[in-house]
Amino acid sequence: MSTLLVNAPFFAVAALICVALYIAMTQRNLIALVMRLSLLDVGVNLFLVAQGYRQDGVAPIFTNAPGSLMVLPVPQALTLTSIVIGVATTALMLTMVVLIHRHTGETDAEKSRRVKG
């Protein structure tokens, strides 16, 4: 198999993280910042899944599994945990953005920093 195809998930991880960093450096909108954190979360999840992948691996849920190579279950468990935490964190951040917008009428990060109380 080609080295490019084997490393494709890692290129996708690098692209997601680069896009997230670009958004962080160029955007001041709070919703864009929430999207940046979500993209970073997706990049980390993809990285964990790519680390646990094994060519021709068998799922580790079989009790009478053949003697073949199994896919690593720990990165899958970490990814599921990360997804749940990411959804909860994103919901909290979007709630905060809605409250900031109600209070200030803006979603710009600079303008929301100046507001006191």
The Cα 27–Cα 65 span in angstroms is: 50
Domain harbouring 93, CATH code:
1.10.287.3510
Burial class (CB in 10 A: 0-12, 13-18, 19+), 30: buried
Identity at 46, one-letter amino acid code: L
Q: How far apart are CA 108 and CA 31, in angstroms?
A: 9
Tell me how far apart the alpha carbons of residues 44 and 113 are, in angstroms, rounded to a whole number: 29
Q: What six digits make up the tokens of 39?
A: 């993209």
Per-residue pLDDT tens over the stretch 83-115: 999 999 999 999 999 998 888 888 888 877 766
- CA 58: distance to chain centroid? 26
Identity of residue 57: G
- Per-residue pLDDT reduced to its tens digit, 11-57: 888 998 999 889 888 888 999 999 999 999 999 998 888 888 777 77
**Does residue 66 surpass a pLDDT of 80?**
no
Write down the pTM of the prediction.
Answer: 0.77
* Cα Rg of the chain, angstroms: 19
Residue 96 pLDDT: 92
Owning domain of residue 69: 3-114
> Per-residue confidence at 1, pLDDT binned at 50, 70, 90?
low
Q: Domain tally for the chain?
A: 1
Return the number of other C-beta atoms located less than 10 Å from residue 47's C-beta: 19
pLDDT at 95: 95
Is the pLDDT score of 60 beyond 80? no
The pLDDT-based confidence of 80 (bands split at 50, 70, 90) is very high
| Amino acid identity, position 1 | M
